């Protein structure tokens, strides 16, 4: 899985666990909502500084945003 | 500690543990040696894609490069 996709999925999971909207998190992290949305969709390539800002706003460590994600096994794989 | 400094210190530690020169690691990660040197010194702000490329070349997960570092306690702190 592409690292940007991984970051996006982790970010979305943590954001939803915190019960935050994209808009609320973007405000906290001092980012534009459309940029944050792009990070979640895996189409943006954030720097480590941006990643850290998002992590701080979520109350997690930035390394958590890079955690590996277990992909569901494909039938026959 | 600034996230860029943290990434730099983790990177240098893993690189030295692997016995790799900056030049050898830069070659593996398809980066310029001076850029890699800047990441190690904490003066560059790599994207998650670049971080992942460095991590793969080092044989570690990219989340490891963001791991917290215990700072030695200052006297009187």
The pLDDT tens digits of the residues spanning B20-30 come to: 999 999 999 99
Give me the DSSP letters along chain B: --HHHHHHHHHHHHHHHTT--HHHHHHHTT--HHHHHHHHTT----BHHHHHHHHHHHTS-HHHHT---PPPPPTT-
- B27 lies in which domain range? 3-65
Q: Is the pLDDT of residue B64 over 80?
A: yes
Q: Is the pLDDT of residue B70 over 90?
A: no
Is A71 within a domain? no
Which residue in A2, A3, A38, A40 has the most chain B C-beta atoms within 10 A of its own C-beta, making it the best mutation to test that interface?
A3
Is B73 within a domain? no
**B45 contact residues in A (CB cutoff 8 A):** 47-49
Q: Are A65 and A36 in contact (CB under 8 A)?
A: no
Which residue in B2, B3, B67 has the most chain A C-beta atoms within 10 A of its own C-beta, making it the best mutation to test that interface?
B3
pLDDT digits (tens, 9 = 90+) for B28-57: 999 999 999 999 999 999 999 999 999 999
Our count of domains for chain A comes to: 1
Is B70 within a domain? no
Q: Is the pLDDT of residue A77 over 70?
A: no
CATH number of the structural domain spanning residue A58: 1.10.260.40
Q: Phi first, then psi: what are they for B4, rounded to 5°?
A: -70, -40
Any chain B CB within 8 A of the CB of A66?
A: yes
Q: Which residues are within 8 A (CB) of A12 and not within 5 positions of it... i.e. 6 or more apart?
A: A40
Q: What's the CA gap between A15 and A34, in Å, rounded? A: 15
Q: Phi first, then psi: what are they for B43, rounded to 5°?
A: -100, -5
ipTM of model over 0.85: yes
């Amino acid at each position: 899985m592409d690292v940007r996709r991984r970051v996006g999925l982790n970010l979305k999971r943590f954001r939803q666990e915190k019960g935050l909207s994209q808009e609320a998190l973007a405000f906290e992290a001092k980012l534009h909502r459309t940029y944050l949305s792009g990070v979640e969709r895996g189409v943006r390539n954030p720097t480590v500084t941006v990643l850290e800002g998002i992590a701080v706003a979520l109350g997690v460590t930035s390394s958590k945003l890079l955690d590996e994600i277990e992909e569901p096994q494909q039938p026959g794989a």
